[in-house]
């Protein structure tokens, strides 16, 4: 006579699946709480990343009529100020709306560069007081430092 042994509980596959889903759920909850707690730092990081990306694009392919030295100075000052300043949600939301379309196409023309600089000026009005570099006839011209003149 053979006795059938009845299994009690879940199968191994189902148990492993529940453990994996539970672990993923715990990780998602931890990530959500961390992002919520660090939302200001994440927002500042996003702004710095976007303006640094724009700075790199402008450095590689300077838009006609834009003084790249001035643009770099404004971006660098903006990055320093946003990292030190207390976070203002309203100013940041306005700033981000103004710049989010600028570097989306990986190319920045002169109007987009001016739009980005204006957004940085609106966020920190004292950036307008940065000393302006010498005006040249061609804003993309680089002085020849090797000629000794």
Q: Helix/strand/coil (H, E, C) string of 31-77?
A: HHHHHHHCHHHHHHHHHHHHHHHHHHHHHHCCCCCCCHHHHHHHHHH
* Ranges 48-52, 58-62, 102-106, 135-139: which has the least confidence: 135-139
Residue 137 confidence (pLDDT): 42
Residue 32 has pLDDT above 70, yes or no: yes
Residue 107 phi/psi, 5-degree rounding, is: -145, 135
Instruction: Report the C-alpha gap between 47 and 117 in whole angstroms.
Output: 13
Q: What are phi and psi of 130, to 5 degrees?
A: -60, 140
DSSP 8-state symbol, 145: S
Other CB atoms within a 10 A radius of the CB of residue 70 amount to 16
- How many other C-beta atoms can be found within 10 angstroms of the C-beta atom of residue 55? 22
Note the pLDDT of residue 9.
Answer: 76
Smallest Cα–Cα separation from 99: which of 84, 110, 113, 86? 113
Residue 148 predicted with pLDDT over 70: no
Q: What is the pLDDT of residue 135?
A: 44
Query: Structure tokens of 53?
Result: 């990306």
Residue with tokens 């957004």: 119
Name the band, by pLDDT with cuts 50, 70 and 90, for residue 29.
Answer: very high
Total count of residues recorded for the chain: 149
Task: Dump pLDDT digits (tens) for 55-104.
Answer: 998 889 888 888 888 899 999 999 999 999 898 889 899 998 888 877 67
Task: Give the model's confidence band at 2: pLDDT under 50 very low, under 70 low, under 90 confident, else very high.
Answer: low
Structure tokens at 20: 């994996």
Please report the pLDDT score of residue 147 as a whole number.
44
Percentage of the chain lying above the pLDDT 70 cut: 81
Span 107-125, pLDDT tens digits: 888 888 889 999 999 999 8
* pTM for the predicted model, two decimal places: 0.68
Instruction: Give the model's pLDDT for residue 5.
Output: 63
| 86 vs 64: CA distance, rounded Å | 35
């Amino acid at each position: 006579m053979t006795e059938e042994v009845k299994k009690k509980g879940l199968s191994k596959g189902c148990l492993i699946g529940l453990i994996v889903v539970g672990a993923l759920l715990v990780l998602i909850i931890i990530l959500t709480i961390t992002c919520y707690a660090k939302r200001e730092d994440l927002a500042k990081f996003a702004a710095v990343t976007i303006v640094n990306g724009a700075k790199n694009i402008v450095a590689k392919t300077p838009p006609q009529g834009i003084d790249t030295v001035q643009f770099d100075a404004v971006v660098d000052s903006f990055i320093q100020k946003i990292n030190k300043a207390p976070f203002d949600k309203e100013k940041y939301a306005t700033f981000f709306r103004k710049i989010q379309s600028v570097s989306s196409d990986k190319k920045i023309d002169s109007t987009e560069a001016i739009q980005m600089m204006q957004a940085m000026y609106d966020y920190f009005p004292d950036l307008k007081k940065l000393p302006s570099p010498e005006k040249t006839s061609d804003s993309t011209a680089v002085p020849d430092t090797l000629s000794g003149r």
